[in-house]
Amino acid sequence: MHDTVRIRLLLTQIQSQLQQQHLWQLSPPSDEALASTAPFCCDTLGFEQWLQFVLLPRLTALLDSEGTLPTKVAIAPMAEEAFKGQPQLQPLLHTIATLDAALSMTLQPTIEVIYEDEHIVAVHKPSGLLVHRSWLARKETEFAMQKTRDTVGCHVFTVHRLDRPTSGVLLFAKSSEVARTLSEMFANHHVEKRYLALCRGFVDEGAVLDYPLKEELDKIADKFADQDKEPQEAISRYQPLRQGQMPFPVSRYPSARYTLMELEPITGRKHQLRRHMAHLRHPIVGDTTHGCRHQNQLFRDQFELQRLWLICKSMSFDHPVTGERLTIETELEADWQQPFAAMGWDD
């Protein structure tokens, strides 16, 4: 996982040091100077301009969108050349070198095969990894489908969706025929999916929520779609497993309360679990679209972690070829141990 909190702090520090050294400009350079198609190109601007108008805003945008950070920009050598013979800029050079090291140490997300036979393969997808290539994410280079193919040594076919920030069990087929059967099983709700989520507040009782959801449309991809479409049926089952409290103030409250929830989507609408928990006023921690910014900030500050605390823990279905009943389960990532320990959940 990227150390995003540390990188954000370094970006803020670089801005502050540029301002202290009177290198921060109030007027941006010309549009032509910023027109390079290379995301971090440094051939049309002075170095301090490049820091201010290219590196800082573009890295911040990638952090905000949970995009893939560059690992080979090599900022420190450029800084040393640009600021050569200016000892007053040594603190700034040190911060830039620290940022350079932080970026070069970022790890690409990896997948782990948790089940495989001659027809299907299931992997553990980490939070932040896209399932497959999309024109909406043209700059991304890492995908679960590609990584799974490279790991098992054959082409794989997607049969269902797992949101980018959601981790856990992701299933692929090894042939188009099996993919067609599995896709129909998902569409007909013949696959049982069990999720775990860390949610804001105390939830005392479980229930089934039948709350229709209006389809979420993308501004670009769904530009010509029907904007007035009726809400679609959406049903989720939820069950509290454990309640805990952290001794950290959040918003106007002196401490933070959470519930570890077991969630099961009966239907399969976009962001269904996230939107349903938000509707219940118990949003999933780390949800930057439907969640609570105060809770998300607390987790970034206390644990230096920025992720959605939602995992597809297990999946049960009849094997599309043999008919055998399968339950594929994965483990929680190490990330979860930090908030668990803060709530005293050491067992």
The set of catalytic residues is: 163
First-residue to last-residue Cα distance in the chain: 25
CB 92 within 8 A of CB 56: no
Amino acid letter for position 25: Q
Q: Bridge partners of 312?
A: 168, 195
CB 125 within 8 A of CB 168: yes
Q: What is d(CA 33, CA 137) in angstroms, rounded to the nearest whole number?
A: 25
Q: What is d(CA 171, CA 121) in angstroms, rounded to the nearest whole number?
A: 6
Q: What is the residue whose two structure tokens read 């990227």?
A: 2
Contacts of residue 82, defined as CB under 8 A and 6 or more positions apart, other chains included, come to 46, 47, 48
Q: What is d(CA 124, CA 215) in angstroms, rounded to the nearest whole number?
A: 28
C-beta neighbour count of 139 within 10 angstroms: 8
